[in-house]
Structures are given as structure tokens and as C-alpha cells.
Structure 1
Amino acid sequence: MSRRRFIHVTAAGASALLVAPRIAFARADTERRFVFVIQRGAADGLNIVVPYGDPAYASLRGALAIDPASATKLDGLFALHPSLAETAKMYTAREALFVHAVASPYRDRSHFDGQNVLETGGRAPYQVKDGWLNRLAGLLPPGPDAIAFAPSVPMALRGKTAVTSYAPSALPPAQDDLLMRVTQLYQHDAQLRPLWEAATATRAMVGDASTRARQDAGALGKFAAGMLARDDGPRIAMIETAGWDTHSAQTQRLAATLKGLDALLAALREGLGPQWTHTTVLVATEFGRTAAANGTGGTDHGTASAAMLIGGAVAGGRVIADWPGLRPADLYEGRDLKPTAALDALIAGAAAESLRLDPRRTAAALFGQTAMANRPVEGLVRA
């Protein structure tokens, strides 16, 4: 173990975040908050925002089809998965909206490539070397370094804007006496003293909350909200969630994963308190899943999916969809939900309106040439 790593491990102590999800923050000089929740593994939008009113839905899905009687009806076509009970309340309160049949420019079905396109904002995998969330942070007034609460900084946050990381150790908590002795040891070390002071400052900021965040998604949401609500805390955040790759046993697995997401979002709302009014949370995945069920009680890699915008700043209570239909002739390559909305345009519009940035400039910075073809979606956030 290097001396630099020892400093961070000793100062952090035993508190550790969940392996999935993990969180990443970036500080910005604004009262508004923007949170990106990535669903790694290709989330099944057809069973999250359920097109129960499409005549082909039930037959395509078979045993996987969600019973509309158990779901929350959003309108005459769509319903929300029953595990998203708290999210449904936010929809009723007009703090949530859903965008269906949405996809990034990526049209193949590799998780790694799809996530790279989603996080970098490029048109092809590994074409762009930094992340759109890092570029978004760069559009804001200068502030303290961006912070990634993960063993490594997610691709979406990598780039020119300074980022530091905080990965709590799995070692037992460091005793105060040990911390004091190390502080004395490095007191006159010009190189290590600033590193140690930064590590101990981070430890003091997160306190014991990250230990509780190990337990469940709700605790993680509460921990993240506590950081975001601080006057000197981050204003841009990234939360990673996993478990969305449902090739088999999808009914049980998706219900459990959605329940965790629901708890995470509810904890953000509760923990942010008055700051929830200024918050926008974007939930998106790298691609969707096949329209038809497979032979193992699940679905395979697809194309279009559903995205969510949640928050007190969101102009919610609606589903945005140019619905392509689920008849065989309507499917993309005869198997997937066809994309009719651009995820890049949704991200650019939500980010710009949330942080009060110019939409065209934001789209150009985040998505380059892609922004020329996909105008940012407007009217997502309250004025």
C-alpha cells in the first residue's frame, strides 16, 4: 500500500458505501441541484413505465406482463410498476415525469459500449474521452473540486474539471488517538500534510452516514441528500445503480431493484427538505430490453427504454412519448421497442433548465455534433 493510499484508508475508517449503487458528487456555486442516476445493465422500460394500453403488450410479454390492476395508472396508455409506490406519489404531486421510447445514439447491444456512449455523450463507443457530466460541471462558476464517492470516478464525471474521489475503507474505524498521532507525524511534511488534512476533512464531512449507507438504497439516498443539502456541499451528483440486467427471473429481480430505486428517490426527497424544490433527478439506462420475453423468464438486450425526471423542480405529472407501438411491424429490427426520442436531447434540456444554463450552449458542450440534430427538450423544469 502506498503512503498516499494509507492516508486515505486510515482517515476514512470502516464506513463503506454499497458496491452498487455508488455515488459521485461535484460541487457548484448554485442553489440548484442536478442528480444523474444511471441504471447499469439495461433497464426494462416496458415493465417500468408499462404501456398497458397497447394491444400487443400483454401477448408479447406473456407471463412477464405487468397486471395493470396492480400498477399505478398514469394515463390511458401507461402505468407505473407497482414497486415504484413513492415515485407514483411524486407523479401525483407533479414532481415526476417519464419519457418513453428514448435511447442514446448507440444501436448495438453491448453493456460496456452502451454505457460509454451514454456517459461520454459521443455517437460511438470510446469516441469521446471525457464525460458529459464533467463538461456540465465545467459550465458552472468555479468551485471546489468535484468529488466521486466511489473507488474510481465514473466515466460521466471524468474530464478537465477537477475531480477527487472518496472511497471509504472496509477496515475497522480508526481510533482518535491514531488519527492524532498521524496528524503529528505529517505536521511538518510539505507533501503529505495537505493530503492528510484533505482526507480528514472529508472524513469529518461524511461522518458516520456512509456506514449506514451500506445497508440499503434508502440509507444511501439519505446519505446523498445530506451531502447535497449542505450549504457548502455538492450541487451535481451521480448515483450508480446495478441489477438491471434481467435475462432470467425478471419478475422478482426487477421488482426488488425497482423497490430499491424507489427508496433511493424517496430518501432524496425527504433528506433534501426545502432544497428538494431546487432539485432535478434524471434516471436513465444505456439501452432497453427486448419487447418479447425470452425462454428463461426474462428479456434480452434491446434498444429503446424509459427515462425518468424526478424532483421538486420538475414540471411533472405527465408521460412524454411519441409511442411507436408494439406490433411486429413497429419494432426496431423486429425485436425491440423503436426509439422515437433522443436521450441526448432529454439530458441537455433537463441539465440546462435545472441549472439555468443556455440550452443550445449546454447541448453543444455536452453532445457536440449530436446536439445539432437533436434540439434540447424544453419545458421539463419549472421556471
Structure 2
Amino acid sequence: MSSPEPRPSLLTHVVPAAPPDPEAAPWVFGSALWHGAWTTPVMRPSAAPWFETWAEQGFTNQSLRQNVRLHAGGTQVRIRLSNAYGHTPLHLTGASIGHTAGAAAVQPNTMRTLRFAGSSSTTIPANGRAVSDPVTLPTEPLDDLTITLYFKGATGPATYHQLSMTTAYRAEGDHHREPAATAYTDTVQPAYGSWYYLEGVETTGPHPLPHAVVTFGDSITDGFGATIDGHDRYPDLLAERLLSAARPHPVLNAGIGSNKLLTDAPLGGDAGLARFTRDVLDQPRVGTVLVLIGINDIQQSDDPASGTANPTPPVTARQLIDGHRALIRAAHTRGVRIVGATLPPYRGAAGWTPAGEAIRGRVNQWISTSGAYDAVVDFARALDPDGTGRIREGLHIGDHLHPNPAGYRAMADAIDLAVLEQ
């Protein structure tokens, strides 16, 4: 009999100590019940090999303008900022929010000053976060908001989300209360974009919304291959389907490009096991999580820039399955429904190997047949309906790994909306 396969050491890190006290939950403020309207997982600053970012240099006497699309509306709004990977306090001089008028412009009559404990400025401790005071700003699902942050002093390297597929804009000096885009002449090209310090947007209103759906995973969830500023990642399209079906669950995207389930990745953030509680279970009023992760653990590549290089022995199917079981236990501890997605094919991609393909097959068989997940979504079949072992031509960006907008549409359409509801 063969010896047991080693277990990943992070398995114990994902399980929360106890279910949260609803009365002490951060999304309950006075009589207001806050809903997650948008989120992104934050990462430590690093140099991205694929495109330029502003993360390592940070900001000094600059205004930073960032756009987000909401998946929940309301009458009031607030934001969450993160200095999770900062080594020093972060001094924010001023901030504003308003409805996007296109690119870096803001609709003038909607611009609001953001305050923190009554002050127009705030200091966020190293490894800490800040939540703004509520401002009255009526919003609807699929509205685009523009958030502007002004940093007078040097921030140092910035906590950020590397791949936003959304253009960020920068201006020299203080322009955070100017609706016009005139000063915001600086962007990153090619504009794959990043989000900086911004962790979440929450809304509240007179009518409670259904619980949120969080999509958790790697670059396929993050949306690499989607249209820049086009909002056609699979979570975006899922949100549109839910709205059209009169099931207005907010959809919160917790994907990180190059992310692995079992281990940290230099360019892919903390391991999925390590970040699951923060990025999923601690979201406002989460009810369901849809999990698609593991292909970066399987891939073996000689290109360090891919984020999948792994000099250690290849991962085993047992290790990945144990990792998925840990996510399931953590979700159930919090009373959260958890839906597993099969890993799409990647034959033809740089990191494909026959051994990796065999692992993918065993993991997908377990996801599909074990009954461990509360429900299953078959993304592998959605992208490979003929069972060829490859993503169908016309559904990927040319690398045989990442879907294009048509592929993301196929994924969103493959989800039975009923499985997302408790």
C-alpha cells in the first residue's frame, strides 16, 4: 500500500474560529443594513511582468481616480480602503465619490466628499483598513461610480489588486473634487489596469437585498481576456443574468490572477486557503460562494513571469481535493452555501502536461460526483462542449487557457441560477 500523500500546511488557516455575531457584524451600522456592491481582493505590491503598475512606486502629491461597477444599489454608499500590505501608516488627504461620466470624468451634481469619522482625511495603520462615513448617493445595480483618492505625502509601495481590466487615472496635485477629467492625463499602457487601496464599496437602502454571491478563484474569475472597461468577465455577466431573472443577488468578484489554492504565488497573491475568510466569508451578507480554483497549482511552467513556476514537487490530486474540502468546511461553519466549479481544460497552454491533465481529471471527477459541494457548475463542459480536452476555438484569447468575452458568456450562461440560492 502506498504511503499517504502529504497534506498542505495551509489547510488549518482557512477555518474561522466561530460564526460571526450578526449584531456585531461590520455591515450593520445603526439601523442600516449594508450590502456588498463591489469588491476586489488586495495583494502585496510587486512588479508585474505583463504590464506596468504604480504599486511599487506608490503616490506622492497625486490624485488617483478609479472606476467600479456596482452590483447592488441603494440610497447611501460607503467605501473600504486597505493598507493590508503596508509597512507604514497610509495618510489619505482627501477622497470623493460620484457617478462616472465616462473615462475619468464625474457627473458634477453627483460628486460627494468622503469623510472618515467626520474628517476629510484619515490615516490607515499598517496592515489595517478604513471604512468611510456613509454619504447619500442614490445608485442602481450596474451603475458605474468613480472614486478619487488624493495623497499629499509619499505613500510608499501600495496595497493593490494587480489586474482590474479597468483603466485607472492619475493626476499631479490635488484634483480629487474636480468633476472634469482634464487633469487626469496619466494612465498605464497597455491599460490592463489595477486598483489601488480600494477594497470594497457598500450600499444601503430602504429595502434589504438578497444575500451576495461571491465568485472565488484565479485569473479566469478575475477576468483576464475580458474587454478593458467592458465589464464582460463571467461574474459581471452572471450579475446581469440574475438581475434579468429578478434575482438581484449582488455578485462580488474575489478572483486574483495567477492565484493558487495551496501556496502563495509571487505574482498571484496569498494562497486561496489563506485568503478565503477575508475575501469571501467576511464580505457583507454573503450567502453563496462559487469556487473555481486549482489550475495554477497543477500547471508546471519554466516561465517565472507566468506565476505558475513551481520548483517543488508537483501538486497531487489528493492535496487539491483536501484544499477544496477545507474551503467547504469553512463556508459551512459560517452558514454559507458553497458551489464548486469544474476546472476548464488547458491543453495547448504553456503549462500543460499529461500528468497535470490527469490531476485535473481526478479533481473534476471528485467535484462532480463526491457530493461534498452543495452544488456543482460544469465550467469544463461550458468551454469544451465536445469533450476534446481543449477550450473550443473562439472561446479563448489564443493561449488555450483564458476565455475571451464569448467564453466568459458561455461560463455565465452555464450556471443554473437556482443553485446560487440558499
Which is richer in strand? 2
Higher RCO (CA-CA < 8 Å; seq separation 6+): 1
Q: Same fold (TM over 0.5)?
A: no
Alignment TM class, shorter chain as reference: 0.3 to 0.5
